Amino acid sequence: MKLNKGILFVLIGAAFFGFTPVFAKLGFSFGYTLGQINIAQMLISSILLWSFTLIKRAGFKGLNKKNIPQIMMTGCFTGLTSIFYYGAMQYVPASLAIILMFQFVWIGILLEWIFSKIKPAPVTILSIILILVGVFFASNVLNGDIQGMPFKGILFGILSAFTYAGFIFFSGKVAVNVDPWTRTSLMATGSTILVLVIFMREIPSVFPLETNLLTSAVGVSLFGAVLPPLFFAMGAPLITGGIANILTSIELPVAILSASIILSETITPLQWVGTAIILAAIALNELGSSLFRYRRRIEG
């Protein structure tokens, strides 16, 4: 029963994250800038997360003068990811932006290799190759669609993958003994400060908050920074890390489906094939190494 509940919570959390492109695109359609959307989103996210943290009485055990700045600096990766991810959506379809951002999977493996000296297993290398093949199909290169898109959009999408991979890598190593909600709130604070500094000139244009901007910002905040961590916090402890990573990949098809249904973006069968290859590669990476080690133990 615990396993089923954990799977359900993680699936819901990941699915929620898949709807963030809809609200980001909505904000752009209202005429708001990247800075205005990010400022409003980060402020609302910080307020909501700190409210949850205080209501939950998470506490501040384990915090000190050294790790508080470290946690907040780790949160800056979230701010950069939002800037690059939403920035990519200004130039390319949301379906392509999410595919580019999903390259964090192999980039994260690369970071582990460089900084933690953890050499990828053969099955991991195979997974990376499959992911790149999946991206080739999912980006619709064969139909020539990607060639006419602004390079800036592609660059922002790839940069969002690097910053998201950086967030995952460092968040798993900084102040892990501190309550997850307190850590998440401090990360949101660091992210908010970064966004306010980068878009300092646009702060006056955000206030007073207009209804349309508030709608977009609340949407990306709830579905991007509040609800996913809430459900992950409830579900992740009940299942293994490998299963959790596989389940979170559901955000990719959800984001593409929402872009197709809600944003009316055209998704070709070939793009769905590419998406399926990417999901299969993620599952292979998470389960393949475990199965390989298990077989070696059996044979040994």
Let me know: does 115 contact 169? Beta carbons within 8 Å: yes
Tokens of 85: 């991810």
Taking the C-alpha atoms of residue 284 and residue 129, their distance in angstroms, rounded to an integer, is 12
Let me know: does 212 contact 105? Beta carbons within 8 Å: no
* pLDDT tens sequence across 76-102: 998 999 999 999 999 888 888 888 888
**With the C-alpha atoms ordered 237, 56, 174, 186, is the resulting torsion angle positive or negative?**
positive
- What are the sequence ranges of the domains in the chain? 2-299
| Residue-level pLDDT at 41 | 93
Q: Output the average pLDDT for the chain.
A: 83
- Of the listed ranges 2-6, 53-57, 70-74, the least confidently predicted one is 2-6
Taking the C-alpha atoms of residue 26 and residue 49, their distance in angstroms, rounded to an integer, is 23
* pLDDT tens sequence across 106-148: 888 888 888 878 787 788 788 888 888 887 777 666 565 566 6
Taking the C-alpha atoms of residue 289 and residue 292, their distance in angstroms, rounded to an integer, is 5
* pLDDT tens sequence across 208-238: 889 999 999 999 998 887 888 778 767 766 7
CA 186, 99, 259 angle in degrees (round to 5)?
A: 90
Residues of the chain by 3-state class (helix, strand, coil), percent to 5: 80, 0, 20
| Residue-level pLDDT at 190 | 93
Residue 204 makes CB contacts below 8 A (sequence gap 6+) with none
Size of the chain in residues: 300
